[in-house]
Amino acid sequence: MHLADILSAAQIIPEMRATDRWEAIDELVQQLVIAGRIAPEHRQDIASVVKKREQSMSTGIGFGVGIPHAVSDLVSEVVGVLGRSSQGMQFESLDNQPVKLVILFLVPQGQFQKHLHTLSNIAKNLHNADFRNALATAPDAASIYQVIASIRTGK
């Protein structure tokens, strides 16, 4: 599963307000509600499960990237949201650097293989410095999505 398969321009925040990983999770989950990808009444439960997973170990993988994720029975398909912070935020990353790109994704309960595959593909793409740079310099959500879609199509 490719990042473009779980995102749309409505699921991208071009400039996040969050200053740390906990605020980022709340902001990203709220964007999923706004985009109609999760029900408003599930917002708090989903944020809680993502934060619980994040407490066990930071998903700040280095290179200015964080990938908070969780498994939930409140989603029926893999769903994601991307946020960008030009200032960077505290994420307790492996390299102790601020995080500027955060991709949060949720996988339905019982789909562990899909969870691992999605995480692996996202991490692989985000290890590419040119890809991260293109995401960082895209002017808006639609442009960010185009950068993501171009990786899948090879354009």
Tokens coding 141: 């959500």
Give dist(CA 51, CA 41) in Å, integer.
Answer: 17
Listed by start position, the domains of the chain span: 3-150
pLDDT digits (tens, 9 = 90+) for 5-36: 899 999 999 999 999 999 999 999 999 999 99
Report domain 3-150's class. alpha beta
From residue 28, give the alpha-carbon distance in Å to each of 15, 36, 117, 149.
Answer: 11, 13, 21, 20
The more confidently predicted of residues 85 and 114 is 85
* Cβ atoms < 10 Å from Cβ of 128: 12
Active site residue 117: no
Average pLDDT over residues 97-117: 87
Q: What is the pTM of this model?
A: 0.92
pLDDT digits (tens, 9 = 90+) for 41-78: 999 999 999 999 999 998 899 999 999 999 999 999 99
The confidence score (pLDDT) of residue 122 equals 81
Residue 87 has pLDDT above 90, yes or no: yes
Tokens coding 111: 């789909």
Catalytic residue among 42, 69, 115, 127: 69
